[in-house]
Amino acid sequence: MKALDTGVLLALLEGSPRARELTRKLRGAEIATTEANLLELGYLAGRPARRDTASRLAALERLRQRLTVLPLEEHAVHEATLRLVRDGSRLAPTVAAMLGTLEAAGCEELLTDDPRPLAGDWRFKVRRVNL
């Protein structure tokens, strides 16, 4: 399973050619994200200054239907908590929850456009992509 981070999902929603090409290359693989990532996108789509909130939320719902959406559940919270405590991580709890969700689901790779290093020792690979 390959997971897409919020920045990659946002690029898809905005119609980025590079993001579309990335998903073409992933054909045949299970593509996932987490409820935490979709929460971030919903927040971005619904910010009060946006005039196109309804169309952005509809596009987000269409994207949601094409992905495996991993829920934040007990095992994911446990994984995230272990990392936060053991590693002394300074990750925001929501980010740790997202990463714990990927870990608990057995994700093999997270694709992200975030250049910052990922704190913690996770079992999945992190691949940086330029969008």
| DSSP structure string for the chain | -EEE-HHHHHHHHTT-HHHHHHHHHTTTS-EEEEHHHHHHHHHHHT-TT-S-HHHHHHHHHHHHHHSEEE---HHHHHHHHHHHHHTT----HHHHHHHHHHHHTT--EEEE---SPPPS--SSEEEE---
Q: What is the pLDDT along the chain (131 residues), one digit of tens a residue?
A: 999 999 999 999 888 999 999 999 999 999 999 999 999 888 887 776 656 777 888 888 999 999 999 998 888 888 788 877 876 667 788 888 899 899 999 999 999 998 887 766 788 999 999 98
Reported pTM: 0.87
Domain 2-71+108-128 architecture: 3-Layer(aba) Sandwich (3.40)
